[in-house]
Structure 1
Amino acid sequence: MEYRNYKVIKEERIEALNGLGILLEHEKSGARIMVVKNDDENKTFNIIFRTPPKDDTGLPHILEHSVLCGSRKYPVKDPFVELAKGSLNTFLNAMTYPDKTMYPVASCNNQDFRNLVDVYMDAVLYPNIYDDPRILQQEGWHYELETLEGEITYNGVVYNEMKGASSNPEQVLFRQIQTALFPNHPYGYDSGGEPDAITDLTQEEFLDFHRTYYHPSNSYIFLYGDLDVTEQLSWLDEAYLSDFKKIEVDSELVKVEPFTSRNHVTKSYAVGQETKTDNKSYLSYNVAFDKPKSQCENLGLEVMEYLLLDAPGAPLKEALLKQNIAEDIFGSYDSGLRQPTFSIIAKNTNVEHEALFVATIESELAKIAREGFSRRRVEAAINYFEFKIREADFGQYPKGVIYSIKALDTWLYDGDPFENFAYDEAFRQLREGIENGCFIGLIDTYLLNNPHTALLRLIPDAQMLAEKEKQLKNKLNIYGGMLTEEDKLALIEGTKALKKHQAEPNAREDLEKIPLLDLTDIKKESTPIHYEVVKNEGHEWILHKTFTNNIVYMRLLFDFSPLTFEELPYVSLLTKLLMRMDTKQHTYSELSDEINIHTGGIRAETNVYGMNNEPDICQTKFEVKFKCLGEKIDETVTLVKEVLTESLFTDLNRLKDLIFENKSRLSTALTSGGHTVSINRCSSYFNISARYKEALDGITYYEFLEKVVSENQFETVAIKLKEVLDKITHRENLHILVNTEARLIAPVKEKLQELITVFPEKSIAYDETLPIIFETLNEGFKTASKVQYCALAGDYVQEGYLYNGHMKVLQTIMSLDYMWKEVRVKGGAYGGFAGFRRNGLFFLGSYRDPNLNKTYEIYRALPDYVKNLKLDDRELLKYIIGTMSNVDVPLTPQMKGDRALALYLSNVSKEDEQRERDEILSTTLEDLRALGQLIEDIIGQDYFCVIGNESMIEEEKHLFITVKTLNQ
């Protein structure tokens, strides 16, 4: 088919995406376009630019933020936020990678999709950055000075975001791996920005980067879903692309020539001054290589990484762990670069183990290259990947967004993007390759005989943070000493002017240029999740029938509320051990193979379901989730039975390895997810759901693991694990979720009923539910972070209020107006948000926040903001629509079953959902203002918690009841 003003390069059916693929070039501008036309209502647009960094100033990242701060057609200060407030988007974001910057959006509503695409195209091609230097100051960096006697400081959203990123040792590690493998190359620089270098970025460099790279000739445009392709392409041509002539853009990622000898690099990362640095280093063995020749090889490398390092019993990981040189071993294969990388990482080790680390890797790889993997092991691994790819369930990420990123693995480097989706042929070739040593060949070619290697040591430094803070202070003092009083007054005026600009509302006429849907575009009736509940001898079945493409999703949920508080960490630990320990029938390695061959996965987790308007009640569940194809029900249920009734915890060496690994990875999660950890910890002072969650996966659980390791309690833990598992796996209060097609319900029920009979009706060890004791701690946790995560929470049911849909609208307003402006835009934090939960919980939180007390002052001022809220009819409509985008989220078949279960266990009825919807759609300004008293009452409860910089928490320790170091 022909498309006016476009040259069709390729057009073919892409079976993996269930659609027609079209590859085009816009003739005048040179823009590259890939279209996937299929029946997915969740349409996706993504425009990508190739953006190789030239230094560590984070220019690509800062520009990603900045182009979304106003444009030619949409001159408001933050059209991105205005879209978030008032569109039905299912995805709205922008991302910076080492060599590309992308702007994806998605929506199920046709008009909304067109609106989103228009705002994003105008933003990237015609941003206001050329006319307003305050954009770089706000999003990148600027000097701040408030009085002549005050201290000069740096501030800026990306500056503070990257201070947070550089506080995470694993982000530092992966950044330094790229520098070690690609010195003096764009991949060797930090596209996100090094905080010390960000402040060197000038306005001229900033604008020049946009002029150079943000041109259609350097763009890759991806369109996906049930689109009118002709209409969409015509609009792109007429509205934007025809304005540009094709030019040569020098953005090619030049290949780095292989090293002649291994590159050895030593770098440091910051830990707290009270942290013991022994066994806190990282060692990483890294290789880089040319793009694999085919999708089969690329997929083969993913499978190989899994076989070597990720699968239970992975031989390379096992060999390294047996040397007792590290607490955790893991790997990484990154195919999204011009030259992919493969890394083998030892975490929590010492540098003197380096020689043994390298020797073990190379000897074990040579051994595997000689002997290969067992056929069954390789088949199991291939099945594991094939099930994941064919299921194509990315949770709340629209498929089109994920596919657009995958297409770039070849497309960005002038290859064929369709190749990335040739899964049928790739899997066929991989299976054929089992016989002719395919994986042995991959190990030889890409790992053993590859000279392009780098060995990186990343060592802890307890003085680094203090020294960096001292250097920063000296740098700013030197700068301040060079300023005359007149210069300082100008700086003070500049600070005031920026803050005034940030505080000023957008002009009404500019706001009205942002396209807005009408309430008639939103259906008034909720779409209920239909499910059936069947009660049978003390347990309940939740049956959800939907099209699943022959996949059966099942879940067993065992109540564990009667456990003592001290026993709760063992439930969480069980979820990390089951399927990874021996059973009476199989070794853990054999068990992994059986699971991968017959199922789509078996995993255990804990969940806590808060109760609708009942803060003192919750349902605590130990859950075993499993999925398979319809013809594999028998084998899958048999494996679940084996795991739950025959698991052994007697291999103390294996148990120890897994506990060390769990502790290591939780330590990273506590740092990267500090906002979630602080909110949950704060909420645990008074809320029963949060109290359980915190004990199961928060700081309390981490402290439990630390104690087990430091006191060598592995034998005691093994005994206790078996005792707790026997306690909770019984039929009383058991819930079973079956989520599949109607034709498969009966055989699934029959097989599961056989399984259920092996569990006792009631555990003899169960007593009545034990009371949970609450304590207001208001803690400050000191870490090596350069930023803070500040949480405030409270219970509105305690104050006499009940949940309603107006709260949901106010949540949108608080997060995207008040918290955005005060915490992010003015305060410089990367994020700020607010939330209501049906169980009475209200919370405020900040993310990568340079402030502490200032943020709490912002929190305390929130009631006045709400009580005096000013919104015209259009603004209110905008927030209602934006709220509905979070209510009407497209659900995958698996997510529909999960939602049915959550609604049932939380006692949320169809009537409750409709009532919430009615309240959202009918929200008035008076409804919102009335909630100001609720927030004032909650803030008066005075619950807060901070995780952050040790110096700042020490300076503000008078705010806390308890100050302690979070040892990681």
Structure 2
Amino acid sequence: EISKGLDEELLEGSIRQIEFRLREISDSGHFPYNLILAERCFRSWLYGGDPLAYLAFEKNLSFIRQKKAEGCGFFADKTKELLIDNRHCLVTVVKASSEMGKKLENQTNEQAAILSRNFTETDIKKYHNLTLQLMEEQKKPNTIEALATLPKLAKSDLPAKNIEVPAVKTTIATAPAYLHRIFTSGISYIDIGFDCTTIPFDLLPYLPLYLHWASRCGAAGLSFEAMSKKIGMSTGGIYGSLLCETSATADAALVFKYFLHGKALTGRIDEMTDIVSELFASPDFTNADQLNDILFEIRNDLNSSIISSGHSFAATNAASLISLSKYLDELLDGITQLRFLDGLVKNFNADNIIEKIKSIHAILINKSRCMISITADDPESIVPIIEPLIESLAPNNAPKVAIPFTKRSIAVHGIEVNSSVNFVAKAMHCDCFTPEDLGHFLVLSKNLSTGYLWNKIRVEGGAYGGMAFVSGGHSVFSCASYRDPNLISTLRHFETGLKTIASGVSPDAVDQSIIATIGNIDSPRTPHKKGFGETVALICGRTPDFRRKVREAILNSKPKNLSEKAQRLLNTGESAIAIIGSSAAFDKARDEGLEIIQEPLIPNDHEQY
């Protein structure tokens, strides 16, 4: 390809993408932006160079632009030199194995047998006593003197007020809109949302597939390859997401929306708007090969996430039995969705799936149930650009569709995977829609996560993590463990942890939990997360006044507040348990008296991919 010459349009698109990434204030999903900038400084500074060399990118961009103006020869030569002719390379092959899970289950016992095969009775007693001694040391709390040596914040160090995000509510072509004037380094973010409550229930499982395809399909007579190139030339990306929460309003209404997100340099926002208009007006949902590729991709991505995020999947699966919003989360992004996608892969029927996707698009994309969020340096200037797009949408006043959800109570739900560790979760119903209740539950979850569950499940139990969490968007309080060698003892710790707090907790421990909770609330966010996050909070009924009261409840939390909330959870009659783990772990738990309804992650007729 290099010998034929580089595609000038693709090269221009690549340069634009680089410029966008350099300008965007992004956390890369892991670190605050200021730490990312610091890391860039260290790249040269550590070796005696100019610490600002990697921050001052304008000069380098100008150099690249100059070379591009001279043609593609410079870039073709560099590609040949640094990639094609570069022999410093390594090929790594990873092969899937259906036997590895069983091997991992027996690995610890086999290694122990090898290490101890020459032990005498004296050696066995010696190491047994050492193990008991270590376990006792782990259980000992730190002394007051040792804890006093650790630097820590005090409650008085915490800001009394929330960080305010500017929001102006208006309308764009009769659709409600939220404008957020925030410094974005010359990038504009547009989020267009549509109500999903009008989609028939039998179509809902196809919604995640629609979400992925709708921003990657061909449109306006262009193939999906040409459309992808066009998106790369003009934007920093277009993608979809789903929002499913329970409103904090008195009626606890379901907030269920599909959002199409787009971002672009402000000077190219009109180009991005034209692209979005084409995706809405004339998407090409006829390419069966692309459909098959996307289906495999999202099925495999979801499947590979089970082990890396098993605690989240287990918690969602458990909560889906007692909460409508979590039921939809499970249906659309949980193990239930994985099984649905796997069934589509095994029994691929392109015509049937395409018909479903087209039906969703026809119902979903309409002006009647549309809303917009804009985050930019000057969001008001973008309104006239996006208004024709919203005006062009057809109205659709279809009625809301009832979702057949009923709270259920079952024995422990065991989901079998090939793994040497478990992911244990228990979900409990909690009414946390008053700001005071939510604030106290947030502090309680932090106290459990950094206190009892940390010590018992992680430090003593050997799991990678033990945690509790609650959200303002769901009426569920959850406890979970991550990569946990135990099962029954972890379930006991979930209950014992709550009982311990219900019987009393020290004021100092509560204060430290308050500090950690406020730290989460005030954690750095990117401009888009600030703007879109504010929009989500407002449409879910979490007004600035509501959040002010939540913060006040957190800052004023007392031991009795946590004890009352812990006792409320212990008394709840609505709870569910889900465990993702191995067959051997479930067999052992049954031998110890735990009743488990066990099923494979993927149904038997879908086990082989």
Q: Does 1:618 align with 2:280?
A: no
Q: How do 1:818-837 and structure 2 match up within 5 A?
A: 818-837=452-471
Q: 1:874 and 1:629, CA in 2 relative to 1: closer, same or farther beyond 3 A?
A: same
SS at match of 2:19: helix
What one-letter code is carried by the residue in structure 2 that aligns with 1:377? Answer: L
Q: CA deviation at 1:798?
A: 9.7
Which residue of structure 2 lines up, in the alignment, with residue 634 of structure 1? 270
Bigger strand fraction: 1
Q: Relative contact order (alpha carbons < 8 A, sep ≥ 6): 1 or 2 greater?
A: 2
Q: Does 1:506 align with 2:151?
A: no
Structure 1: how far apart are the matches of 2:560 and 2:503?
A: 10
CA contact (8 A) 2:373 2:535 kept: yes
Structure 2: how far apart are the matches of 1:650 and 1:376?
A: 26
Which residue of structure 1 lines up, in the alignment, with residue 564 of structure 2? 930
What one-letter code is carried by the residue in structure 2 that aligns with 1:678? Answer: A
Structure 2: how far apart are the matches of 1:799 and 1:523?
A: 24
What one-letter code is carried by the residue in structure 1 that aligns with 2:83? Answer: L
Structure 2: how far apart are the matches of 1:446 and 1:665?
A: 31
Q: Does 1:570 align with 2:206?
A: yes
Which residue of structure 2 lines up, in the alignment, with residue 544 of structure 1? 180
Tell me the TM-score normalised to structure 1 length.
0.58
Which residue of structure 2 lines up, in the alignment, with residue 483 of structure 1? 119
CA contact (8 A) 2:430 2:476 kept: yes
Deviations 1:634-682, CA, capped at 9 Å, x for gaps: 2221111111111101121122222222222222222221121111111
Structure 2: how far apart are the matches of 1:728 and 1:761?
A: 10
Which residue of structure 1 lines up, in the alignment, with residue 425 of structure 2? 791
What one-letter code is carried by the residue in structure 1 that aligns with 2:129? Answer: E
Q: How do 1:17-166 and structure 2 match up within 5 A?
A: none
Structure 1: how far apart are the matches of 2:104 and 2:542?
A: 51
What one-letter code is carried by the residue in structure 2 that aligns with 1:600? Answer: G
Q: 1:869 aligns with which of 487, 501, 504?
A: 504
Which residue of structure 1 lines up, in the alignment, with residue 588 of structure 2? 955
The size of the alignment, in residue pairs, is 596
CA contact (8 A) 2:8 2:72 kept: no
Structure 2: how far apart are the matches of 1:540 and 1:730?
A: 13
Which residue of structure 2 lines up, in the alignment, with residue 723 of structure 1? 359
Q: Does 1:387 align with 2:20?
A: yes
Q: How do 1:294-333 and structure 2 match up within 5 A?
A: none
Q: CA deviation at 1:624?
A: 0.8
SS at match of 1:947: strand
Which residue of structure 2 lines up, in the alignment, with residue 817 of structure 1? 451
CA contact (8 A) 1:806 1:923 kept: yes
Structure 2: how far apart are the matches of 1:800 and 1:933?
A: 18
CA contact (8 A) 2:435 2:546 kept: no
Deviations 1:505-525, CA, capped at 9 Å, x for gaps: 211122122223333322323
Deviations 1:343-362, CA, capped at 9 Å, x for gaps: xxxxxxxxxxxxxxxxxxxx
SS at match of 2:165: coil
Structure 2: how far apart are the matches of 1:738 and 1:457?
A: 44
Q: 1:405 and 1:527, CA in 2 relative to 1: closer, same or farther beyond 3 A?
A: closer
Q: 1:849 aligns with which of 447, 467, 484?
A: 484
CA contact (8 A) 1:684 1:691 kept: yes
Aligned-residue RMSD, C-alpha: 2.8
Q: CA deviation at 1:751?
A: 2.7
Q: Does 1:904 align with 2:538?
A: yes
Q: Does 1:424 align with 2:66?
A: no
Identical columns (%): 24
SS at match of 1:926: helix
- 722-731 vs 621-630, greater mean Cα deviation: 621-630
Q: How do 1:321-360 and structure 2 match up within 5 A?
A: none
Q: CA deviation at 1:425?
A: 3.3
Q: 1:445 and 1:799, CA in 2 relative to 1: closer, same or farther beyond 3 A?
A: closer
Q: Does 1:608 align with 2:250?
A: no
SS at match of 1:457: coil
Q: CA deviation at 1:546?
A: 2.7
Q: CA deviation at 1:929?
A: 1.6
Q: 1:668 and 1:908, CA in 2 relative to 1: closer, same or farther beyond 3 A?
A: same
Q: Does 1:648 align with 2:284?
A: yes
Which residue of structure 2 lines up, in the alignment, with residue 712 of structure 1? 348
SS at match of 1:961: strand
Which residue of structure 2 lines up, in the alignment, with residue 58 of structure 1? none
Q: 1:757 aligns with which of 382, 388, 391?
A: 391
Q: CA deviation at 1:906?
A: 1.4
Q: 1:452 and 1:545, CA in 2 relative to 1: closer, same or farther beyond 3 A?
A: closer
SS at match of 1:804: helix
Q: CA deviation at 1:629?
A: 3.0
Which residue of structure 2 lines up, in the alignment, with residue 945 of structure 1? 578
Q: Does 1:371 align with 2:7?
A: no
Tell me the TM-score normalised to structure 2 length.
0.90
Q: CA deviation at 1:696?
A: 1.6
Q: How do 1:675-694 and structure 2 match up within 5 A?
A: 675-694=311-330
Q: CA deviation at 1:816?
A: 0.4
Q: CA deviation at 1:898?
A: 1.6
What one-letter code is carried by the residue in structure 1 that aligns with 2:396? Answer: K
SS at match of 2:321: coil
Q: CA deviation at 1:615?
A: 9.5
Deviations 1:40-88, CA, capped at 9 Å, x for gaps: xxxxxxxxxxxxxxxxxxxxxxxxxxxxxxxxxxxxxxxxxxxxxxxxx
CA contact (8 A) 2:2 2:80 kept: yes
Structure 2: how far apart are the matches of 1:576 and 1:520?
A: 47
CA contact (8 A) 1:670 1:698 kept: no
Q: CA deviation at 1:563?
A: 2.0
CA contact (8 A) 2:135 2:460 kept: yes
Q: Does 1:517 align with 2:150?
A: no
Q: CA deviation at 1:604?
A: 1.4
Structure 1: how far apart are the matches of 2:5 and 2:408?
A: 56
What one-letter code is carried by the residue in structure 1 that aligns with 2:553? Answer: E
Q: 1:417 and 1:713, CA in 2 relative to 1: closer, same or farther beyond 3 A?
A: farther
Structure 2: how far apart are the matches of 1:936 and 1:702?
A: 32
Q: CA deviation at 1:497?
A: 2.1
Which residue of structure 2 lines up, in the alignment, with residue 580 of structure 1? 216
Which residue of structure 2 lines up, in the alignment, with residue 532 of structure 1? 168
Q: Does 1:769 align with 2:392?
A: no
Q: Does 1:840 align with 2:475?
A: yes
SS at match of 2:156: helix
Q: 1:478 and 1:520, CA in 2 relative to 1: closer, same or farther beyond 3 A?
A: closer
CA contact (8 A) 1:790 1:945 kept: yes
Deviations 1:507-551, CA, capped at 9 Å, x for gaps: 112212222333332232333333232357863112222333333
Q: CA deviation at 1:812?
A: 1.5
CA contact (8 A) 2:447 2:509 kept: no
What one-letter code is carried by the residue in structure 1 that aligns with 2:394? Answer: P
What one-letter code is carried by the residue in structure 2 that aligns with 1:941? Answer: E
Structure 1: how far apart are the matches of 2:81 and 2:577?
A: 55
Q: CA deviation at 1:628?
A: 2.5
Q: How do 1:157-176 and structure 2 match up within 5 A?
A: none
Q: Does 1:560 align with 2:196?
A: yes
Where structure 2 has 5 or more consecutive residues not aligned to the other structure, the ranges are none
Q: 1:373 and 1:673, CA in 2 relative to 1: closer, same or farther beyond 3 A?
A: farther
Structure 2: how far apart are the matches of 1:615 and 1:826?
A: 43
What one-letter code is carried by the residue in structure 2 that aligns with 1:376? Answer: E
Q: CA deviation at 1:614?
A: 7.0
Which residue of structure 1 lines up, in the alignment, with residue 82 of structure 2? 446
Structure 1: how far apart are the matches of 2:510 and 2:245?
A: 32
SS at match of 2:219: coil
Which residue of structure 2 lines up, in the alignment, with residue 81 of structure 1? none
SS at match of 2:218: coil
Where structure 1 has 5 or more consecutive residues not aligned to the other structure, the ranges are 1-367
CA contact (8 A) 2:246 2:325 kept: yes
